[in-house]
């Protein structure tokens, strides 16, 4: 085959360090826009970006040549630098070290988009910790809870 064809939809979740509430409502649209731009620079296609004061959800289509780990390292590092420059009062901002990344089928795309867009209402009922544990279990990811937090 002369070309590579992929459809790599990935739902990514990561939080601020210690889940500190750095992503206030007033700046969140700009945060999401910046994250989307950073993904596009890597030739990824951001489909939905949402979250709350302490974490972000992204549904993105990754190009075949960009590994999830590389993508998130670059996006998180660049954004950390940007938030400290643009909002000096958030100088101590940091992302958590890890993340969750889950494959999404094309048939589940709209469900995941709605889930990401409904984060504020979703978190009226469930904590980030419970949400993340639920995602890990739903996707069959093995983990030891002693090392999650």
Res 85: pLDDT: 86
Please report how many Cα atoms fall inside a 13 Å half-sphere around the Cα of residue 68, on the Cβ side.
Answer: 17
Residue 31 near residue 85, CB atoms below 8 Å? no
- pLDDT < 50 positions in the chain: none
Res 90: pLDDT: 81
Q: At 59, give phi and psi (nearest 5°).
A: -110, 120
pLDDT tens figures, 61-88: 999 999 999 999 999 999 998 888 888 8
Residue 82 has a CB neighbour count (10 Å cut-off) of 16
Task: Return the DSSP state at 108.
Answer: G
Which tokens in the block code for residue 13?
A: 């979740």
CA distances, 130 to each of 13, 85, 145 (Å): 13, 32, 11
Q: Return all residues near 30 (Cβ < 8 A) that are at least 6 apart.
A: none
d(Cα 21, Cα 84) in Å, to the nearest integer? 15
d(Cα 55, Cα 61) in Å, to the nearest integer? 20
Indicate the burial class of 23 (C-beta count within 10 angstroms; 0-12, 13-18, 19 or more). Answer: buried
Residue 117 near residue 123, CB atoms below 8 Å? no
Q: What percent of the chain has pLDDT over 90?
A: 80
- Model pTM greater than 0.75? yes
């Amino acid at each position: 085959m002369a070309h590579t064809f992929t459809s790599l939809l990935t739902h990514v979740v990561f939080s601020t360090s210690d889940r500190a509430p750095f992503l206030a409502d007033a700046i969140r649209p700009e945060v999401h826009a910046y994250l989307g731009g950073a993904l596009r620079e890597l030739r990824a296609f951001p489909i939905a970006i949402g979250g709350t004061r302490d974490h972000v959800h992204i549904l993105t289509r990754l190009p075949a040549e960009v590994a999830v780990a590389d993508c998130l390292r670059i996006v998180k590092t660049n954004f950390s630098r940007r938030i400290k420059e643009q909002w000096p009062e958030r100088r101590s901002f940091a992302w958590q070290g890890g993340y969750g990344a889950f494959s999404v089928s094309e048939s589940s795309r709209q469900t995941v988009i709605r889930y990401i867009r409904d984060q504020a209402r979703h978190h009226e009922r469930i904590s980030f910790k419970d949400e993340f544990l639920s995602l890990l279990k739903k996707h069959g990811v093995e983990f030891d809870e002693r090392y999650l937090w």
